[in-house]
Structures are given as C-alpha cells and as structure tokens.
C-alpha cells in the first residue's frame, strides 16, 4: 500500500530540500554562472520527484516520493518512467529535477505541477522530455495562472522571455 503525504507536507519538505541545495555550501550565485556550464563549486544535485497520474477531475498530480543525490546516475536508478527533466541553466546544465510517473508515462491527461516552489520556483532554463511526453506548458504563476507558452519536445533554452519565470507546469502526450 502506498502512503500519500499532504500537499502542505510535501511543499514543506521540498522547500527545505531546495533551500539546502541553493543556500548550501555547494551553491554558486547566479551572477557567477557560466551559460550551460556546471555552476556549483561542489557536487551537482540530482533530484527525482515521483508523481501519480491525474485522475478524472484532478488538475494536480499527487507527489509519491522525492529524493536527491549527488550521484549522476541516481535518477536512472529510481525512476522507472521519466516524464521530464528540468534544468536551472541553458543547454541542460546545472541542478536538475527529474519528474517521474509513478504509474506510467504521459497520456492525454498528463501530469500537473501547481507550485514549483519546492522544486525551484523561477529557475527553469531548459528541459528534456521522455517517451510519450511531448507537450510542456509553462505558467508564470502558481496554480496554472498566466500561461506563458506551450512547447513541443526538448528545449535547450526556453528563451529570454520565459527564462527563470516558471512557477507551475503541465506535461502531456
């Protein structure tokens, strides 16, 4: 039996994780970041967020598990169905978060992430989609407010207009 945690608990845990990642001793200020390069003085963090599929009438995916490691192969080890990997820098550089489907890859309903605060609000610069996941809709506000753009496929850079502005997103086939 899987045990789900509340959204508030998940957000608190993820906010603490992100704070540790960004404020911790391995972080480098954004002003010192080289485009597309490794921006940390220490080991890179690789985080995996496993989520449940959307059910009829549901808009937000339930978070089943969140784990981070400095091992570059970590996400492949615990992520059976990768959906999307989001990066803090262009050209797939910097810290990364892999969102995985707990019960399969994308379908038409897809997955919804109402609040990126726990994963890195306003840091998205590039992303890679996997398997059936093709469409990524990014929003400027939490709760899917202010749709900025819909992308098809991978993006090595979301563009100056949308860089570091994503607060929520949806992904689907």
Ramachandran angles phi, psi of 42, nearest 5°: -110, -160
Our CA angle for 72, 110, 138, nearest 5°, is 75
Instruction: Say how far apart CA 108 and CA 135 lie, in whole Å.
Output: 10
- CATH code at 52? 2.60.20.10
140, part of any domain = yes
Domain span at residue 75 reads: 7-27+44-172
Which of 15-24, 60-69, 153-162 has the weakest average pLDDT?
Answer: 15-24
Instruction: Say how far apart CA 18 and CA 23 lie, in whole Å.
Output: 8
Per DSSP, what are the bridge partners of residue 141? 145
Tell me if 137 sits within 8 A of 170, measured CB to CB: yes
108, part of any domain = yes
Higher-pLDDT residue of 29 and 10 is: 10
* Whole-number average pLDDT of the chain: 77
Helices (runs of H) and strands (runs of E) counted in the chain: 3, 9
Most confidently modeled range among 41-50, 72-81, 92-101, 117-126: 92-101
Give the CA-trace dihedral at 123, 91, 76, 8, to 10 degrees.
Answer: 10
153, part of any domain = yes
Residue 52's Cβ-side half-sphere holds a number of Cα atoms within 13 Å equal to 15
35, part of any domain = no
Q: What is the value of pTM for the model shown?
A: 0.72
Residue 75 banded pLDDT, cuts 50, 70, 90: confident
pLDDT at residue 46, rounded to an integer:
81
What is each CA distance from 26 to 3, 118, 136, in whole angstroms? 32, 18, 30
Tell me if 109 sits within 8 A of 57, measured CB to CB: no
Place of tokens 């469409």: 135
Q: Is the pLDDT of residue 169 over 50?
A: yes
156, part of any domain = yes
Residue 73 banded pLDDT, cuts 50, 70, 90: confident
Helix, coil or strand: residue 152: strand
pLDDT per residue as tens digits for the range 85-130 = 999 999 999 888 999 998 889 999 899 999 987 777 899 999 999 9
Domain count, the chain: 1
87, part of any domain = yes
pLDDT at residue 23, rounded to an integer:
31
| Tokens coding 31 | 């002003």
75, part of any domain = yes
């Amino acid at each position: 039996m899987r045990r789900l945690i509340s959204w508030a608990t998940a957000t608190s845990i993820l906010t603490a994780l992100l704070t540790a990642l960004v404020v911790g001793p391995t972080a480098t200020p954004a002003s010192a970041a080289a485009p597309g390069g490794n921006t940390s003085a220490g080991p890179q963090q690789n985080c995996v967020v496993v989520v449940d599929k959307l059910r009829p009438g549901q808009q937000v995916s339930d978070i089943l598990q969140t784990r981070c490691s400095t091992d570059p192969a970590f996400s492949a080890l615990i992520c059976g169905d990768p959906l999307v990997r989001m990066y803090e820098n262009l050209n797939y550089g910097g810290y990364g978060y892999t969102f995985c489907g707990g019960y399969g890859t994308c379908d038409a309903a897809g997955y919804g992430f109402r609040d990126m605060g726990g994963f890195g609000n306003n840091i998205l610069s590039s992303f890679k989609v996997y398997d059936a996941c093709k469409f990524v809709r990014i929003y400027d506000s939490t709760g899917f407010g202010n749709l900025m753009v819909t992308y098809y496929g991978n993006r090595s850079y979301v563009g100056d207009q949308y860089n570091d502005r994503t607060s929520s997103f949806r992904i689907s086939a």
